Every structure is written in structure tokens, then in C-alpha cells.
Chain A
Amino acid sequence: MTDTEQFPVRVEQPDRNGGNIFSRVFDELTAFCRSRSLFILHYCTGCGAIELPPAMTSRFDMERLGISPMVSPRQADILLITGYVSVKTLKRVMLTYEQMGSPKYVIGICSCTVNGGMYWQSYATAKKLNDYMPVDLYIAGCMPRPEAVITGLRQLMDKIAAGEANGWEDYYRRYDYYLGHQQRLFGETWQTPTDVIAEARHYGLFGPETLGDHTRLLEQHQAPLEALEMQLGLGAPDEVKA
């Protein structure tokens, strides 16, 4: 990472001319629908969350843009980091982010997510969100007004429709980088239940920087969490349990 890079998120432009016309149309349609239907995770990580209810309710009504809140990370598309993240929260945010289904987008709301904001001195809050997860959009302000939040979401919608909001791919492709920062803050034996490397392999999102020193460290420590596949083992056990 060099200083000239503004955001360390590498956007890989999808090949928009590949495939047949049918699949292109289909991709366009999906991208359009993705941009028109955004589920926000209901997780108030910080004080910026106080401006989300106004943005959602009668006055600003985010639902007219197809944006609605969702409870579980499995259902959500957008992770709104609404303000400062304490280290304790950041762990949960990482867990939640990894549990969300891709494509997923992270929006950092409030100045605190950009550079620690007014808590730059605080021992408890993380200063730079994009060290730990790829951030697609920052909405600065303390706290940004609902109009700003909605404008930011509209920008995100445009980015999604144009196929540019690909921070989530970056997380898979450069997992080692993000994991390194997480390990620095949370300790060497840090492990989330989601196996990001296996996921990257499964979905073909494997990149040259997915693996590295930090993932090696992870593999040393981690307790394997493989899916409970159905097993048809029919061998005889050794003892009677009746």
C-alpha cells in the first residue's frame, strides 16, 4: 500500500462485454435490482444511528428508494457503521460483516469512521474503519443529516447500478490484509466462525493476496468449523449405549 492510494479498496471492473447478450441483459437486470432494493442491517453501532430513524420514517421515507431495515445479517445488503466503533463493537461488526451475503456494502457514517473523529485520543475506539473491512462509501459529518444519509445511499445506488461497489470482492481477494489488521487489534488467535478463505474458494473470488502471513497464522490457531454435511456412515459402533 502506498501513500498515493487514497482508498486501499481495489475496484476490479467487471468485464461488461463478455458473455452472450442474454447473460449481459441478465447481469444488467440484477445490478439494477440490486441498486433498487437495499436492506440495511439493523445494527446501531454508534451515535449516528440516531439520524437513521428520521431517514427511515415518514418525513424522509427511505422505503420509497427501496431501502428497508432488516434484522439479521443474512438478510442485509448494507452494513451501516453509524459512527465510532469501539474495539468490542468492531469484533461484532466483523462477525456480522462476514455473515452477510455478498454483494454487501459498507457505508461509514460520521467522521469517526473515517479517522476516529473527535475520539482520536480514545483508547477504546478504532480509528480507521477501512483497515478492517472494505468501505464502499463514507458519509462524513457529525452526524450527517438524514438528507446526507439519503444522498449517500443514492450515490451508493448509482455505484451499484454501475457495478462499481465491489468492496466486498476486495475483502475476499485481499483477505490477508484485512485479517492482518484484525489480528493486530484483536490478538493472534482471532477467529470468526465464517471461513472466508473457503468461501473465496467456493465462489471463485480467490485472489493472489487472499492468503499470506496472517492467514497462515490463522490456520495455525483456528479450530476447524466445517459444515455439518449429512453423513451416511453405517459402520458398527463399539459399545452399546442402551
Chain B
Amino acid sequence: MHWSELAIELTLMPLVAFVVGLAMVLMMRKIAARLQRRVGPPLLQPLYDIVKLYGKRTQTSHGMLHEIGIVMAVGGYVAAETLLPVPGMNGIAEKGGMITLLYLTMIPSLGLALGVGQCANPNGSIGISRALTAMLAYDIPLVIVIAGVAIHFGTTNLVDVIAQQQAGGIATWGAVQMPLLAIAGLFALQGMLGKQPFEIYVAPAEIATGPMVEMGGKFLGGLFVMQCFQLYTASVLYVTLFLGGGENWIAFLAKAFAVLVIPMSIAFLFPRYRTEDMITMLWKWPVVLGLIGLAFVGS
């Protein structure tokens, strides 16, 4: 591949992720509004919020790390998006693979954790402690799922995974071949997005929105951007592993949005678990399903 082509792809992929992510945020808020029997925000609301936050005149910082934390949170996702193939663009997906991607998506969380830590606010620290606990909880089913997929397709290369799934139509999709793992994956997805019932780390009524407590202005704006990326990454990763990636952009976006409808619909109809109940929940059913699925994959 010519380097200029690659450069364009590497620029476009995060950009696409951000724009699609904005639409996903809007969809999330619209779904919430529908379930709550109201109208919901206007179309460009996510964008307004971000522009407004960046446009704040005073920006309160608690120190350099507070700022670097946001840089890492956004930058980590910008980097991670180039490892996630989209139709027509593979970026550097072949140079990393799913394990690298999995670990790269931890970077934003760690960055955020650093930034929040500097704020010297226990609400934020409790939020981070819960966020990391949640990560420990949902990553176990997620890793089982990823191991299963990697063994099933015989590779950790996401481009190959997509190619193999698209080779035989729907019948070769991961979700058809490994239904149990796909279900376990949905649990992990819910945890990854941090939505109810696994929304323990923002918990406004308990810890005053946890990590976001001291974030204002563009700090919060950075987190809003990060949320766009987070939604996009989680949904596209699921699409890539189980729904055959994107044959073309229409199918790709349709799948990506459709996947998100499930966790979003669940999110607004449940309260949050306590931490230990969340761990139990995520270590019980999805792990059992995943292990059974893994046994089928292995055999």
C-alpha cells in the first residue's frame, strides 16, 4: 500500500469513528427519551455539547496530569480506531490484531484514571476504582470471547477474521457459528459501555458522577469525545467479531447501530447493581456461556 493512501486511511478512520460515535450518542439519548416518553434532544445536540464545552472561557485544571489524562483518553482511542478495520479501510489492523486492540483500548481508561487521580477528589478515585473493577469483571467474558473467536478463525488478525466471515455469507458469521460466544459477548458489551445494570462508576447519586466530578470545560468535552469513540469501538468490535464486519458502508453502519440498540434499551430499564453483584453477574452467566461456547469452538 502506498504510504499516502495509508496516511489518508489513518486520518479518516478516527474521524469516521468520531462522527459515527456522535450519531451513536444521539441514538442513545433518543432511545432513552423514547423509553421515558419524551422527545429527546435535537439532532446535533452531542455536537453542541462538545463545542460548548471546548468553548468555555475558564478551564479549571488540577495540574498537568489532569490535562494529560484527557489527552491520553482521547489520543488512545484515536490510535485504537486505526486498528479496527472498516469497509474499504484496514489501516494498520494487520500490524496489531485483536489482542493489541484489546490492550490499546485500556490506554484511555488508564489515562483517564491518571487525570482523575490528580484531581484529589475521592469521588473520582472511587469512580476509578469501580471502573477498574468493572473492567476486571467484563474483561473475563470478553477475553473468553476473544480467545474463542481467535481459535475459531485461527488468527488474531481482524482483517482475516472479517475476510473469513464474509467468505460464506451469513452462515459463516461469528454469531451463527458461535452463538453462545455471541451472547456472552453481549454481556461483555454491556459492561464495556458501562451502562445499567453495570453503571457503577458514574453513579451520580452515590459518588457524584465519579470520574467526571472535577471535569469541566474541555476536560469534560474530551470525555464526551471519548464517549463517542467508546460507543463506536465497542459496537464495531462486536460487529467485526460476530457479524461479519462490514461488506459495505451501509451494511456496516446498520449493523453497528443495530448492535447498540440492545444495550441501550436495557440500560434505561434497570438500576445499577452493587459492585459485587455486578461482578457476580458478569462472572457467572457470560463466563459459563463463554466456556461452553469455547468448548464447542475447541472441539
A binds B: yes
For residue A223, CB closer than 8 A to chain B, the reply is no
Partner of B51, one of A29, A73, A75: A29
A101 interface hit (Cβ, 8 Å): yes
B60 to A101, Cβ gap below 8 A? Answer: yes
Q: Which residues of B contact A37 (CB under 8 A)?
A: 45, 48-49, 51-53
Q: Which residues of A contact B63 (CB under 8 A)?
A: 227-230
Nearest neighbor of B214 in chain A, beta-carbon distance? A74
Contacts of A229 on B, CB cut-off 8 Å? 63
Tell me whether A102 is interfacial, beta carbon within 8 Å: yes
Is A30 an interface residue, CB under 8 A from the partner?
A: yes
B51 touches A63 (CB 8 A): no
**What mask results when residues 206 to 240 of chain B are scored 1 for a CB within 8 Å of chain A, else 0?**
00110011111101100000000000000000000
Query: Which secondary structure characterizes the binding site on chain A?
Result: loop
Contact A63 B33 (CB under 8 A): yes
Are A74 and B60 touching (Cβ within 8 A)?
A: yes
Closest 4 CB pairs of A and B: A74-B216, A30-B55, A33-B51, A61-B38
Beyond A33-B52, A36-B45, A66-B49, list 10 extra A-B contacts (CB 8 Å). A58-B36, A64-B39, A74-B60, A74-B213, A75-B209, A76-B216, A77-B52, A100-B216, A101-B58, A227-B62
Q: Are A63 and B208 in contact (CB under 8 A)?
A: no
Question: Chain A residues near B250 (CB, 8 Å)?
Answer: none
Q: Could you mark each residue 22-66 of chain B with 1 if its beta carbon is under 8 Å from any beta carbon of chain A, else 0?
A: 000000010001001111111011011101110111111011100
Which residues on the A side are within 8 Å of B60 (C-beta)? Answer: 74, 99, 101
Cα distance A74–B59 in the bound complex, in angstroms: 9
* Complex: chain B residue closest to A73, CB-CB: B216
Chain B: minimal CB distance from A76 (Å): 8
Is A159 in the interface zone, CB < 8 Å from B?
no
> Bound state CA distance, A21 and B194, in angstroms?
43
Q: Kindly identify which residue among B29, B58, B219 contacts A63, using a CB–CB cutoff of 8 Å.
A: B29
* B122 close to chain A: CB less than 8 A: no
B48:A66 contact, CB within 8 angstroms: yes
**A44 adjacent to chain B (CB < 8 Å):** no
The answer to the question of A103 belonging to the interface, with a C-beta cut-off of 8 Å to chain B, is yes
Interface presence of B204 (CB below 8 A)? yes
Which one of A61, A75, A199 lies within 8 Å of B39 (CB-CB)?
A61
Q: Is A72 an interface residue (CB 8 A)?
A: yes
Residues of A within 8 A of B209 (CB): 70-72, 75
Interface residues as binary, A181-203 with B (CB distance below 8 Å gives 1, 0 otherwise): 00000000000000000010001
Among A57, A64, A99, contact of B41 (Cβ-Cβ < 8 Å): A64
- A203 / chain B contacts, CB cutoff of 8 Å: 57-58
